[in-house]
Amino acid sequence: MINPEFLRKGASMQNEQSFTQLVASRIKEIRTDNSMTQEELGKHLKITRQQVTRLESGQQAISTERITQIAKIFQLTPLALIAPQTRDDGLPPEAAKILAEFKEFLIHKYRPKR
């Protein structure tokens, strides 16, 4: 489930689905890069392997809280989880825009209050 603020910023349903697919593929990529099974990730998240499958396939929307939880498991920041570290990552402009919007959301949500 994407935060309603993300949608209020003008993201369409298609953008939300694209974002979900992008995050889903990153979760699977990072999990497999770390030689972790879906069952192992599910145990960390206290969900079933089937729920991990749905997350990784984009069939289940993912909350910002779940993104943060998964990032912590792999010792990453939420942004590092959802976005490759290279500037020229070959993403289509729409995906780059979605990442930029989500980055702004994360910065606003997690920036220390002064």
Query: Tens digit of pLDDT for each residue in 7-48?
Result: 444 445 556 677 788 889 999 999 999 999 999 999 999 999
Task: Give me the pLDDT at residue 13, please.
Answer: 53
**What percentage of the chain carries pLDDT values higher than 70?**
77
φ, ψ dihedrals at 92, nearest 5° = -65, 155
pLDDT band at 99 (very low <50, low <70, confident <90, very high): confident
Contacts of 78 (CB under 8 A, 6+ apart): 64, 67, 68, 71, 106, 110
The rounded percent of the chain whose pLDDT value lies above 90 is 39
